[in-house]
Amino acid sequence: MNRDLLLTLYAPTWLGQILECHEVLASTNDRARELLDDMGPRAHGAVIFADSQTGGRGRMGREWQSPPGLGIAVSIALWPEVSAEALACLPLAGSLAVLQALAETAGLESHLKWPNDVLADGKKIGGILVESRLQGDRAAGLVVGIGVNLLHHEADFPESLKATATSLLLASGKFVASESFAACLMGRLSTCLASGLDGPRSIVASAAPHWVHAPGDTLRVALAGTEIVGTFAGIGPDGSLQLDVDGKRRAVHYGDVTRVRLAGA
Ligand code: BTN
C-alpha cells in the first residue's frame, strides 16, 4: 500500500489521523493493539494496513491468509466511550462498509452473512475480526480488523478455500488497485463506524436489504461447543440473529452460521 498515493485519494477525518502502511506484519490487529496500549484514547481512529501478514487471524481461532499484495488487511484502533450495545454492532458496521466499497469501486453486488462475513456469488470475499480487551473491569479500546480479497485468482487460494472463497477480481472481472479500494473503504468506514458508535439502529437498518439469509431459511449456529438449529426470523434491532427454535424466538449474539435448508425447499 502506497501511503502517499492513498493520501491523495482519502483525506483523513477522525479516521486515519494516524495512518501506517506496512509491507509485512504478523497481524495488523496486533499493531493496532500496540498503539492502543501505548497511546490509550489518543490512538482512537488509527488505521494500520499491511501488504501481507504472517499470522493473520480470523474469527473462531481460524487463520486468515494475506499473501503479498493480493488483498486488503487493515485494522482500526478505537477507544470508544459508549454502551456495550453500541459496541456490539461495530462488526456489522465494518462489513457494511466493505459491501459499500465493493459496490462503489467495482459495481459488485455483495451480501452479508451473519454475523459479519461479506459474500459475493455466495463465496466469502471479506471478513471482520473485532478484538477488545479489559484492563481490570474497564474497556481498554478495541480493534476492528478487516480482510478483503481483491486480486486473487483461483490458484491463489489454498485448496481448502477454493470452493468457498472469492475475490473482487474473480467476482467482478475488474482490477481495482489496493489504494483505490482502501481510500473508498476508509471513507465508508469513517461514516459507518461513527454511525455504529452512535447506536445500532441505523447500521442495522442500512444492512437490512443486504442479508443473504431469507425468512424461513433453516440455519445451524455453532457456538461454544454446542449448536442451535432454527429458522431465520430476521435480525434484531441490536444486530442479533433471530431464530425460531421449536416455536420459540431466540436471539443469538455470537456463533458461526451454516445454512441447512433454503426456505420452501
Ligand atoms: C473472519 O472472517 O474470520 C475475519 C477475518 C479478519 C481478517 C483481518 S485481516 C486484518 C486483520 N488482522 C488480522 O489478523 N485479522 C484481521
On average, the pLDDT of the chain sits at 93
Residue 244 Cα to ligand 1 midpoint, Å, equals: 30
Q: Percentage of residues in the chain with pLDDT exceeding 90? A: 80
Q: What is the DSSP string of 194-225?
A: HHHHH-HHHHHHHHGGGBS--TT-EEEEEETT
Which atom in ligand 1 lies closest to the alpha carbon of residue 56? 14
Provide the domain limits for residue 187.
3-210
Ligand 1 pocket list (CB less than 6 A): 27-29, 53, 56-59, 62, 64, 73-75, 117, 127-129, 145-147
Atom 10, ligand 1: residue with shortest CA distance: 73
Give the neighbor-by-neighbor strand order of the sheet with 256-261: 248-252, 241-245, 226-235, 218-223, 256-261
Q: Are 256 and 174 within one domain?
A: no
Q: Are 222 and 206 within one domain?
A: no
Show Cβ contacts of residue 117 under 8 Å, excluding neighbours closer than 6 positions.
95, 124, 126, 127, 128
Number of domains in the chain: 2
Q: Are 47 and 92 within one domain?
A: yes
Q: Are 169 and 94 within one domain?
A: yes
Q: Are 195 and 222 within one domain?
A: no
Residue 58 Cα to ligand 1 midpoint, Å, equals: 5
What is the tens place of the pLDDT at every residue in 63-110? 998 999 899 999 999 998 877 667 888 999 999 999 999 999 999 999
Rounded mean pLDDT, 128-151: 88
Q: Are 34 and 149 within one domain?
A: yes
